[in-house]
Structure 1
Amino acid sequence: MENTAQRSGNEPSELPYELIKLITKDFSEELGRGTFGIVYKGVYADGAEIAVKVLRNISGGLDDVEFQKEFDNLRGLKHPNIVELVAFCNEIVEEPAEFQGQQITAGRVRTALCFEYVHNGGLNKFISDQYTGLGWPERYKIIRGVCEGLAYLRLEIENPIMHLDLKPENILLNKNMEAKIADFGISKLFGEENTKKTMSVIGTMGYWPPEYIKHQIISKEFDIFSLGVIIVKIMVGQNYNSIVEMTARKSIKLVHESWKDRLSATIPSHKLEAYCNQVKRCIEIALDCLKSNRQERPTIKHIVACLKETDTMFYEDDGDSSTLSSDINNITMRNRNQLHPAIRKWARLGAA
């Protein structure tokens, strides 16, 4: 069951702490760790699965502040490419404690956020080795999903959200390899102001834009830069540094030619050009996202429009908008892990 039962309609349901302990088997199966908490697997009595993020207790009550912040950011989000909040816990629990050498009972705030369980876990597991990893149709599907999720956060909700920690670990994949953006622990709401300076360390090194590294500036373009890093890594795996250190023209040419060689082994010849154009457009978008001048980076609206444009190439001839989806499913099932000699180019790059 991919999407856990929403047990109280559109609003996340409130669960008692004892039930949280029960469904996680006393927090026995850890799924991952984030900035503010540890995520455990939970299973209801009816077999429905959830991911339970237990927020760390931080001195000064900051855990409660972070809980309220993340809860407020997540409670109204409904999109196929955003991980869904299905339940929560925010309860004062009486627990034994020691005070001045004596055992007492003290109230402790226990906070948890419960999300739909996304079976395939983080994207990082699938792009660590391009030789036995995902085929192009699957990679494109993930790229498209991440972009549409980000567009939803920016364009389709009343109070737009900056994620500020986009990375493969925070992009989860369900059974159908559909991307879901997760971990909104440090996300920020933004309104009229376009930029903000901060002295706090946010996000993850390697996904920071130059303006944040040099001047601690947070802007709407922060996530766009991180998106560019992610797209390149989806396309070339661990050869990210080799690609981005080249000139844009050389990077585009190399990525395009290498994927063309690889695709020719599995793609029908009459579809090859359309797929290759899609590859070329994706690497162009990624490199535009990585521009040092944040004002030159594309908007997420423009990025999604460009991706939709590439989709039309697949069904212009036969007028069937289901062709791309059908091609993806067929190619995914056929020769998914086939190693084509052309991808040895990446090996030479990595060894250089």
Structure 2
Amino acid sequence: MTISKKGTVLSWEQRFNIIKGIASGLLYLHEEWEKVVIHRDVKSSNVLIDRNMNARLGDFGLARLYDHGQNSHTTNVVGTIGYIAPELTRTGKASKSTDVFAYGILLLEVACGRTPVVYQPDRNVILVDRILDCLQMSNIFDAVDPKLNSTYTIEEMELVLGLGLLCSHRKPEARPTMRQVIRYLNRDEILPVFDNLNSFGSKRADQIRSRFKALGLTDDSIITASSIHSSSVGEMSSSSFEITGR
């Protein structure tokens, strides 16, 4: 994923502000509006940025509403490959937690400058696995977008990578709420330490492929879907649906 504005790579400060802006928007949708709104398609190509570098979450075509205190009754699997939570392919039920999963993948994409999943003839490249490999080798910053030229705040980058892994945890109960995400990003709460990397479902290429097949998707559609949003976070738009926290 190339995060750029008219050929200029977005700085880490700009990216971090975008991350926080989308988190505030999702918190508003999940907890602060009169209804619960599940976006169901959180991804980089649905993040739009205005000339003042304010991030908006757009495209609510798949969104669903329900009352606070109730459960979603949606049972059809929708979303974008690479951002779909594993439980969605089993139950078909979208939830606030499945939005959190997609947000976690978005965090990793913004930090690393790579699409979530790319199928190549010789090997399958899964972003989460690459980050986990770097983490296991105690070189997690090797996964960071090289276009940043190491010009980022180490503590913030470490936080975003760790939070991205936590949000995209394969177990829904292990993921934070968006309110907790905001607290982590604002340093009001300390991010948990990852003691067991296996719990993140490392080496998930085969699992992801099987999920796609369960949805009736071919490898060709996987390649197409994983590449269409490769340069979208830095795009400018004034027609997006503005989501801001209170």
Q: Which residue of 2 aligns with 1:286?
A: 164
The answer on 1:237 being equivalent to 2:113 is yes
Q: Corresponding residue for 2:89?
A: 213
Aligned partner letter, 1:140: F
List aligned pairs for 1:186-197, cutoff 5 A.
186-191=62-67, 192-197=69-74
The residue aligned with 2:183 is 305
Amino acid at match of 1:285: L
| Residue number in structure 2 paired with 1:57 | none
Task: State how far apart, in whole Å, the 1-side matches of 2:154 and 2:163 are.
Answer: 14
1:26-45 superposed matches below 5 A: none
The structure 1 residue matched to 2:3, chosen from 113, 119, 126, is: 126
C-alpha distance in structure 2 between counterparts of 1:261 and 1:202, whole Å: 32
TM-score normalised to structure 2 length: 0.62
Answer yes or no: is the 8 Å Cα contact 1:165–1:204 preserved in 2: yes
Q: Distance in 1 between matches of 2:13 and 2:129?
A: 26
Indicate how the Cα distance of structure 1 residues 126 and 260 shifts in structure 2: closer, same or farther if over 3 A, else same. closer
Superimposed CA distance per residue, residues 203-232 of structure 1 (whole angstroms, 9 cap, x where no aligned partner): 222211001122312222110011011111
Which ranges in structure 2 are unaligned for 5 or more consecutive residues?
117-124, 189-246
The 2-side partners of 1:135 and 1:126 are apart by 9
Higher strand share: 1
Question: Which residue is equivalent to 1:168?
Answer: 44
After superposition, give the CA deviation of every residue in 1:173-214 in whole Å (9 maximum; x if it has no partner). 01122210111112111232335351x342222211001122
Query: How far has the Cα of 1:246 moved from its partner?
Result: 4.3
Q: TM-score, normalised by structure 1?
A: 0.45
Contact kept? 1:161, 1:189, Cα under 8 Å? yes
Matches within 5 A, 1:1-352: 126=3, 133-191=9-67, 192-198=69-75, 200-238=76-114, 240=116, 241-246=125-130, 248=132, 250-251=134-135, 253-256=138-141, 266=151, 275-309=153-187
Structure with the bigger RCO (C-alpha within 8 Å, sep 6+) is 2
Match of 2:229 in 1: none
Aligned counterparts of 1:235 and 1:247: Cα–Cα separation in 2: 11
Question: Displaced runs of 4+ in structure 1, greater than 6 A?
Answer: 260-265
- Distance in 1 between residues matched to 2:27 and 2:179, nearest whole Å: 6
Distance 1:133 1:203, change over 3 A: same
Moved more, 232-241 or 290-299: 232-241
What's the CA shift for 1:254? 3.5
Letter in structure 1 aligned against 2:63: S
Letter in 2 for 1:141: N
Instruction: Report % sequence identity.
Output: 28
Contact 1:127-1:238 at 8 Å conserved across structures: no
Amino acid at match of 1:244: V
Task: Give CA deviations for 1:268-314 in whole Å, capped at 9, x if unaligned.
Answer: xxxxxxx211111111110011111111111100000111118xxxx
Residues 247/168 of structure 1: CA separation in 2 closer, same or farther (3 Å cut): closer
How far apart, in 2, do the equivalents of 1:206 and 1:301 lie?
A: 24
Superposition RMSD on alpha carbons, in Å? 3.0
For 2:39, the aligned partner's letter is: H
Structure 1 residues 296 and 261, CA gap change in structure 2 (3 angstroms)? same
The change in CA–CA distance for 1:242 and 1:219 in structure 2 (over 3 A counts) is closer
Look up the SS of the partner of 2:176 in the other structure: coil
Deviation at 1:135, TM superposition (A): 2.0
* Shift in alpha-carbon separation, 1:145–1:187, aligned structure 2, 3 A: same
Q: Distance in 1 between matches of 2:151 and 2:87?
A: 42
Tell me the amino acid that sits aligned with residue 168 of structure 2: L
State how far apart, in whole Å, the 1-side matches of 2:150 and 2:87 are.
42
In structure 1, distance between residues paired with 2:15 and 2:106: 11
